[in-house]
Amino acid sequence: MPSIAQMLGVNRILQGEAVPNPVGDPSLSPEKEKDLRRKYILKALDLLQRDVEGPTVVTLEK
């Protein structure tokens, strides 16, 4: 829920997949799910390697 994180002042926010599975998708096969998770983590690491000015929300382009 990025809006709450934003309100609280979190500076680097990546919107996750869903509440019960932030970096997963049980509807996918294990390999495809891991691919998706990898995309999320790479996006998160990318955000860590960028400077930000304040609360910044990014989403994964799937």
Partner 1 sequence: MAEEKFKAVHYLNQFFGQIGGEGKANTGFMVKEGPVGPGLALQKELGDRAEIVSTVICGDDYFAANPEQCAEEGLKLVKPYHPDLFFAGPAFAAGRYGVACGAMCKAVAGETGIPVITAMYKEAPGLDLYRKYAFICEAPNHARGMNEVLRNMARLAFRIISGEKEMRLLTREPLPKPEEYKYFSRNLLRNEYCEKSIAERSVEKLLAKLRGEPFESEVIPPKFEKVPPPPAIKDLSKCEIALVSEGGLVPKGNPGGLSRRSNLRWGAYEIAPLFRDYEVVHAGYFNDHVAARPDRLVPVDVMKDLVKEGKVGKLHPTYYGTCGCTTVSKRCGEMGDEIAAEMKKRGGISAVILTST
Residue ranges binding partner 1 (CB under 8 A): 1, 5, 7-12, 16, 19-24, 26, 30, 33-34, 37-38, 40-42, 44-45, 48-54
For partner 1, give the closer residue by CB, 23 or 60.
23
- Reported as type and span, the H/E element at residue 53 is none
CB of 16 to partner 1, least distance (A): 7
Provide, rounded to whole angstroms, the least separation between the CB of residue 56 and partner 1.
8
CA dihedral 32, 37, 38, 43 (to 10 degrees): 130
Say how far apart CA 52 and CA 8 lie, in whole Å.
Answer: 16
